[in-house]
Structure formats: structure tokens, C-alpha cells
Homo-oligomer: A and B are copies of this chain.
């Protein structure tokens, strides 16, 4: 009983932290802001997270997991490879739209990681995230190649990386431009273009 409470409250804190971090960014977010958003006392956060960094990192982990699950679900379809590829690419955009705040926070975090020479365990999580994403797309692409549905326009790893890059990049522009274009539509067109270009 107690245990459930703990887990539940932890989630609630992370949920609040997501909102505040997305709005203010890491450095401008005060612990008291998060506490206030959740409706608890400042010190209570420290019962669940060692410090601000751990709170943030826990949130990152949660978001990465959540996003990955969403995309993996899309890949689990039983259709033909073309459709599956299209569906996965589309899911890359959908996931960012659906959890826009998550994207904001993740991108912020990734940008922070760009600091020269920064190396931390949390970076490994990020690499895992990307590795999983790539494996997903690589697998589909290789599958298509084996089935002679796709032609090998570039090595599978490269292909996967490019697809992800395009999704990241487009979403990035979309948010930076204050959503001044239709990301879903752009994404769909991208997906089609890519799939067409690799279809044998």
C-alpha cells in the first residue's frame, strides 16, 4: 500500500517537473516551482529524488522510455515492409507532436550534452535510446532488402540514421518556427518520399 503511494507520488512529481522544465528550461526551473506545480512542499521532492539533477535525469529516462515504447508499438504491425516503414516514420513525428513537452525537454537536455567533453552515465541512456530507434528502422529496412522489396540505396545503419535525423530535424524546425507548418503532413510527405526512393 505504502509502496504504491510512493510510486504514484514519484510519477506525479515527474509529471509536474515535465511541465515546468518544458516551460522554463532546466536552469530557470526552481525546485519550488516544481513543488508548487505538483501541489507539495519543496522538501518533499527530496524524499523522492536526491537532487535537481536526479529529478531531471529521471524525467529524461521516463520520457525516452515512453517515446520508445510508442514507436516500438508502431513497428509491431504485421503489414508489409513498406507500410511498416511508413508507419514507423510517421510515428516518429506523431510521438513528438503527442508529447510535445517531452520533445522540448529532451532536446534541451541533448543540447546540454553537447558541451565539449561532457561524459556521464546519463549519456549512455541517450545512446541506448538512439541505438534502439536505429535498430528498429534498420531491421525493417534489412527485412525489406531480404524480401527484395527495397533496394540498397545506402547501408542500413546509414539509412536508419538518416531517417531519424530527418524526423528530429523537422520537428526541431517545427517547434522553433512556432509550429508554422503542418508537421504531420510534412512528415507524411517525407515518409512517402523516403519509402518511394528505397522501394525496388
Contacts and interface: CB of A to CB of B under 8 A. Distances in A.
Contacts of A170: 161-162, 165
A57 interface: no
Nearest to A104: B114
A116 B162 contact: no
Contacts of A158: 186, 189
A151 to B, nearest CB: 11
A176 to B, nearest CB: 6
A29 B130 CA distance: 29
B153 A193 contact: yes
A68 interface: no
Interface in A155-195: 158, 161-162, 164-170, 172-173, 175-177, 181, 186, 189-190, 193
A126 interface: yes
A126 B193 contact: no
B173 A161 contact: yes
Interface string A86-126: 00000000000000010010011011111111000000001
A154 B107 CA distance: 28
A183 to B, nearest CB: 10
Given A27-B27, A115-B22, A197-B193, A173 B166 contact: no
A165 B166 contact: yes
23 contacts: A22-B115, A22-B116, A23-B116, A25-B114, A27-B27, A104-B116, A110-B111, A113-B176, A127-B177, A154-B190, A158-B186, A158-B189, A161-B173, A162-B166, A162-B170, A162-B190, A165-B166, A165-B169, A165-B170, A167-B169, A168-B173, A169-B172, A196-B197
